[in-house]
Amino acid sequence: ELKVEQNPLFLSMQEGKNYTIYCNYSTTSDRLYWYRQDPGKSLESLFVLLSNGAVKQEGRLMASLDTKARLSTLHITAAVHDLSATYFCAALPPTDKLIFGTGTRLQVFP
Amino acid sequence: KAGVTQTPRYLIKTRGQQVTLSCSPISGHRSVSWYQQTPGQGLQFLFEYFSETQRNKGNFPGRFSGRQFSNSRSEMNVSTLELGDSALYLCASSLGPGLAGGLAYEQYFGPGTRLTVT
């Protein structure tokens, strides 16, 4: 059964700094999703990574996928307070049931 | 274009009662999936409906059920509520059946219904 692990679980970072969130998954996944969730709110889709080597960027966030290593990363460049949220990755096994990671709670402080 | 809507947004029920949650997908979307989010178990897939048929189901007891209507709106029902059913229930809509196929690979989430069982 596919398992998805994210680390770190909690990340406190200073504005202007760079950091990476890691998402490992245990078995074959057709694609990889990244979502953002603000406290008390729903999930906002950030990226859908469809194939090995895929890289997508939006603003200060960049996501990549390495299917051979079963690893996806979400890189944050020059963090700003508005990026404070919980970030989830989710993998899609052949069963077509999305499996979510535990989430990384990001807090950006001045 | 209007997004996914869920009603009610908040609900308080007592153990043993039953509850029905509603989800209206984005216009034109025919697939609706439901997820449960709790602090302990995280985000878990409940089920997916496409064209009024349950297409996929997660590992939840039979107390959790759902249905989809011809206009693609979906309802989720939980019977004999337990304290552990307290959660944020999210629904998501997408164009086609599932995510693995080429027709639709993205789903859009509604605001959620926060259910508290006392």
A-chain residues within 8 Å CB-CB of B43?
88, 90, 100, 103
State whether A96 and B58 contact (CB < 8 Å). no
Q: Collect all residues of chain A within an 8 Å Cβ-Cβ radius of residue B92.
A: 43
CA-nearest residue to A93 within chain B is B100
Average pLDDT of span B85-89? 97
Cis peptide before B8, with omega less than 30 degrees from 0?
yes
- Residue A31 is predicted with a pLDDT of 85
Mean pLDDT of B1-14: 93
- Which of B79, B90, B110 minimizes the C-alpha distance to B13? B79
Give φ, ψ of B83 to 5 degrees: -55, -35
Exposed / middle / buried, residue B36 (Cβ in 10 Å: 0-12, 13-18, 19+): buried
Flag whether pLDDT at B102 surpasses 80: no
Which of A20, A22, A42 minimizes the C-alpha distance to A32?
A22
- B117 membership: H or E segment, kind and range: strand B113-117
- Summary mean pLDDT of chain B: 92
CA distance A96 to chain B (A): 6
The angle formed by the CA atoms of residues A58, A60 and A66, to the nearest 5 degrees, is 65
Instruction: In whole angstroms, give the CA distance from residue B29 to residue B115.
Output: 25
Measured CA to CA, the distance from residue A13 to residue A105 in angstroms comes to 11
CA distance B114 to B7: 10
Phi and psi angles of residue B46, each rounded to the nearest 5 degrees, phi first? -95, -65
Mutate to test the interface with B, among A31, A89, A98 (most CBs of B within 10 A): A98
Q: Residue A100: its chain B contacts at CB < 8 A?
A: 42-44
What is the share, in percent, of chain B residues with pLDDT greater than 90?
A: 85
Determine, for residues B112 and A42 on separate chains, whether the beta-carbon distance falls below 8 Å.
Answer: yes
Q: For the residues A12-30, what does the mean pLDDT come to?
A: 92
Task: Report pLDDT digits (tens) over A44-100.
Answer: 999 999 888 889 999 999 999 999 999 999 999 999 999 999 999 999 888 888 999
Closest-CA residue of A relative to B112 is A42
